[in-house]
Amino acid sequence: MSTPDVDAILASFREALSQARTPAELEEVRRIHTGKKSEIKAALKGLRHVDPAERPAVAASINATQRLMEEEIVASLDAARAREVEDQIAAEWQDLSLPGTAAHRGARHPVTLVERQCLEVLRRLGFTLVDGPEVEHPYYNFDALNIPEHHPARDMQDTFWLPNSLLLRSHTTTVQARVLERETELPIRIASAGRVYRNEAVDATHLAMFHQLEGLWIDRGLTFAHLKGVLAFIAQELYGAERRVRFKPKFYPYTEPSIGVDLACVHCDGAGCEACHGAGWVTILGAGMVHPKVFEEFGFDPSEVSGIAFGLGTTRMAAQWAGVTKVNTLYEPDLRVVRRLHRGA
C-alpha cells in the first residue's frame, strides 16, 4: 500500500500559485489544486488503500496540507484584490489641489442689471412694478395718450402692425394707460419695464427692439419741482453725483410741459464718437407733467390732480454702463460683454 506524497502535492500547488497574479487566475489555481478532481481530493479518497495503522497520521497530514493550501489561496486573493484597487486608484488619481474644470459662472445681462438698479431706486420712492402686454391695442398705445390718428407723433413711434389691428407696443406708457383706466384711488405710483418696438433704422443708438422703464406718479399738488427732484435723485443714485446730467425741453403728446435728461457720454472723443455722434451727451430719459387730456380721457379732473411721468431708456443706459459704443452689442450672442461685467462685479 502506497502513502500519498503530500509534499509533492503542496510543491506543485505553490508553483502554480506563484505564477498566478489576478483573482481570476487564482480562482483557477483553486479549482485545479483543491477542486473535486484535484490531487489533494484524490489523496483523501485513496486513504482506504493506506495501511489502517498509518491511516490516521496520513489523513491528518492530507487535511493539514489542504487547509494550508486554502489559507494560502485566500491570502493570495486578498493581495491580488488589493493590488487591483491600488492600480485603479493610480490610474484614476487626480490632483484635487489643481484648478477645477467646472463651467464658468454666468452673469445677469446688463439690461437686467440696469432695470433692477432703477427699480430699486424707485421702490425707495414708493413705486411698485406693474407689467403689461407687448402686443397692444392702438387705443392704449396712441389714442388714450393724446396721440389721435394722423398725429405726427405716430410717425415718430411707427411700430409693427399685426392682424386684427393690433400692434407691438412702441413704449411702456401703455401700461400707464391701463393703470389709469382701472385705478381711481390716489396716490398712484407705478413703474413698468420691458421690451418695446419701433420701425426705425438701426444705428449705434437705435434699434427696432429695445428696453424701456417708465414711472408714473399721480396725486394732488404735484408740481414740476417734484418732477425735477425725482429725476435728479434717480440720476444721482444710478450714476453718482460726479456724473454730469442736463435737462432740456422736449415734446411728448402725453405730457405738458416735457423735458429730456441727457447723460455725459463716457466714450466721447469728439466728432468721431459712435455712441453720441460727437454730441457729448446721450439722452437716457424723457419726462413731463401728465397732460390734462390724458387725465380727462380716464375720468380725472386735471384741476384737482396732477402727475409726473418719466421713461428711462434702459438699453442706452446699459450700453453706457457696460462700456459698449453700439447698443446692438447688448443683444448679440457675444459673451465677452457679460463676462467682463461679471469679472468686474
Name the 3-class secondary structure at 162. Answer: strand
State the average pLDDT for the chain: 84
**Position 270 confidence tier, pLDDT thresholds 50, 70, 90:** low
Q: What is the pLDDT of residues 125-142, one digit of tens each?
A: 999 999 999 999 999 999
Between residues 59 and 194, which one has the greater pLDDT?
194
- Domain assignment of residue 1, yes or no: no
In this predicted structure, the answer to whether residue 345 has a pLDDT above a threshold of 60 is no
Cβ contacts of residue 41 below 8 Å, gap of 6+?
34, 35
What size, in residues, is the chain?
345
Mean pLDDT to the nearest integer, 290-302: 94
Residues 76 and 183 in one domain: no
Name the 3-class secondary structure at 335. Answer: helix
Residues 41 and 74 in one domain: yes
Name the 3-class secondary structure at 239. Answer: helix
Q: Which residue type occupies 293?
A: K
Percent of the chain with pLDDT over 90: 31
In this predicted structure, the answer to whether residue 287 has a pLDDT above a threshold of 80 is yes
Residues 183 and 277 in one domain: yes
Q: What is the DSSP string of 99-128?
A: PP-PPPP----HHHHHHHHHHHHHHTTT-E
Mean pLDDT to the nearest integer, 152-180: 87
Number of domains in the chain: 2
CATH of the domain at 143: 3.30.930.10
Strand partners, 217: 189, 308
Phi and psi angles of residue 261, each rounded to the nearest 5 degrees, phi first = -120, 125
Residue pair 165/148 in contact by the 8 Å Cβ criterion: no
Compute the C-alpha angle 164/165/170, nearest 5°: 130
CA distance 300 to 182: 12
Residues 252 and 279 in one domain: yes
- Domain assignment of residue 264, yes or no: yes
Mean pLDDT to the nearest integer, 220-239: 89
Task: Give the range of the structural domain holding residue 37, as residue numbers without chain letter.
Answer: 6-92
Residues 138 and 51 in one domain: no
Give the containing element (helix H, strand E) for 70.
Answer: helix 55-92
pLDDT at position 24: 86
Q: What is the pLDDT of residues 44-70, one digit of tens each?
A: 777 777 778 778 887 888 888 888 888
- Domain assignment of residue 100, yes or no: no
Residues 121 and 48 in one domain: no
Residues 130 and 35 in one domain: no
Residues 76 and 115 in one domain: no
pLDDT at position 267: 66
**Position 204 confidence tier, pLDDT thresholds 50, 70, 90:** low
Q: Which residue has the cell 490632483?
A: 95
Mean pLDDT to the nearest integer, 150-166: 82
In this predicted structure, the answer to whether residue 298 has a pLDDT above a threshold of 50 is yes
Between residues 267 and 96, which one has the greater pLDDT?
96
Residues 84 and 119 in one domain: no
Cis peptide before 148 (omega within 30 of 0): no
Joined together, the cell numbers standing for residue 187 give 396716490
Residues 174 and 254 in one domain: yes
Between residues 37 and 286, which one has the greater pLDDT?
286
Name the 3-class secondary structure at 52. Answer: coil
Residues 16 and 130 in one domain: no
Q: Which of 74-83, 112-121, 147-156, 210-219 has the lowest mean pLDDT?
A: 147-156
Whole-number Cα distances in Å, 340 to 101, 281, 337, 345: 20, 24, 5, 9
pLDDT at position 2: 61
In this predicted structure, the answer to whether residue 344 has a pLDDT above a threshold of 50 is no
- Domain assignment of residue 170, yes or no: yes
- Domain assignment of residue 104, yes or no: no
In this predicted structure, the answer to whether residue 192 has a pLDDT above a threshold of 80 is yes
- Domain assignment of residue 102, yes or no: no
Residues 59 and 197 in one domain: no
